[in-house]
Amino acid sequence: MRRGPELNELGDECEELLPYVNSLRRAALKAPELAQDTSTTTTSSTAAELTEVRALSHGFLLKFLRARDFDVELALKLLLNYQRWRRDSPEVSSCLSPQSVLGLLREAYHAVLPLRDHSGSRVLLYRIGQWNPKDWSAIQVFRVSLMTSEVIAMEPQTQRRGLKVIFDIQGWCLGHALQVTPSLARKISSVLSDSFPLKVRGIHLLNVPLFFRPVLAMIRPFLPEKIRQRIHVHGYNYTDSLADFFSAPVLPPEYGGEGPSVEEACQAWTNQLLQSESLLQRIAAHPTGDVDQTTSDGPQIRTD
């Protein structure tokens, strides 16, 4: 029998994966969070939702299995945490519209860099200084992260290799700090650790001012030890230390690399999110977030 990492390498339609997918589906539908009492009378709208919940598509379940190396018990826990997080955080999860935060995206705040790193991980970049807290709330900013996460979580290669995040904290001010409440810190840490089907392989903090440390201290206790060990604080002279983790072609020139500029990378990813508008809104509206990524009104998600 193959081990989890070996199963991760198999294609989505490989028959060897079917027993794991079916086992996870059966276990999920018995869980109180997803189990439904069909003996009572329902409206046609509710009946349609029940059908959608029971479907739990092959591709959707694979995201959770790959995130936990095909350990069905751990994948079930992750799936139920994801459902619970969506239900308990409607202020973030129920509005996944790139158009609603287009002004922030056009400030070159966020990008998924074009090239993966040496291990195949996606590399995400956030530039805090481009977020004006007078114009955009922390909830809106968090939605940007969730939209990107939903899109890249559909990429089989990202399901296998996970992601790494670069946070440039240059420009952090009191206005930012006041918006990061303990409640929001807990929601952020949940997504990073046990409520979203993506493997977080590294978190890199650049240009970290002293008054950002209390925010980091607020988030850390909610993170598992393996995630805490993957946090790297590079300070202000980060070029050499960042190069220990990312090759020159991956990084923009502004961060010591040879890839496309920050502006180009941010614009390219903004375009990708805008193309995913319909898909993201369907995810937000769906009872479980399980939607078909290849319908005619949605984009084909990149799998490079």
pLDDT mean over 11-37: 87
**pLDDT at position 42, please?**
43
Q: Is the pLDDT of residue 128 over 60?
A: yes
23-45 burial, b if ≥16 CB within 10 A, otherwise e? bbbebbeeeeebebeeeeeeeee
Q: Across residues 112-134, what is the average pLDDT?
A: 97
DSSP code, position 244: T
- Pairing mode of beta strands 122-127, 163-168: parallel
Pick the closest to residue 270 from 110, 45, 35 (CA basis).
110
- Section 200-211 average pLDDT: 92
Average pLDDT over residues 273-290: 96
Give per-residue pLDDT as tens, 27-82: 999 988 776 533 333 454 444 444 455 679 999 999 999 999 999 999 999 999 99
Q: Does position 191 have pLDDT exceeding 90, yes or no?
A: no
Beta-sheet strands, E only, within the chain: 110-112, 122-127, 163-168, 200-206, 231-235
The predicted pLDDT at position 165 comes to 98
Q: Is the pLDDT of residue 295 over 70?
A: no
| Sign of the dihedral through C-alpha 217, 218, 219, 220 | positive
State the burial class of residue 109 (Cβ atoms within 10 Å of its Cβ: 0-12, 13-18, 19+). Answer: buried
| Tokens read off for 54 | 């029971």
Across the chain, mean pLDDT equals 88
| Residue 206 predicted with pLDDT over 80 | yes
What is the tens place of the pLDDT at every residue in 173-185?
889 988 888 888 8
Question: How confident is the model at residue 189, as a pLDDT?
Answer: 86
Say how far apart CA 135 and CA 225 lie, in whole Å: 35
Mean pLDDT of the region 151-180? 94
Closest CA relative to residue 168, chosen from 133, 211, 220, 203: 203
Q: What pLDDT shows up at residue 167?
A: 97
- DSSP-derived 3-state class of residue 86: helix
Q: Write down the pTM of the prediction.
A: 0.89
Quote the pLDDT of residue 301. Answer: 45
* Mean pLDDT confidence for 13-19: 95
What distance lies between CA 114 and its chain's CA centroid? 17
Is it the case that residue 13 has pLDDT exceeding 80? yes
pLDDT tens digit sequence for 210-224:
878 888 888 888 888
Residue 190 confidence (pLDDT) above 80:
yes
pLDDT at 100 over 80: yes
pLDDT bracket for residue 5 (50, 70, 90): confident
pLDDT tens track for 242-280: 999 999 999 999 999 999 999 999 999 999 999 999 999
SS (H, E, C) 115-132: CCCCCCCEEEEEEHHHCC
| pLDDT confidence of residue 224 | 87
Listed residue (37, 142, 158, 162) closest to 94, CA to CA:
142
Phi–psi pair at 233, nearest 5 degrees:
-100, 115
* Cα 141 → chain centroid: 13
What's the pLDDT at 10?
93
Which pLDDT score is estimated for 188?
A: 86
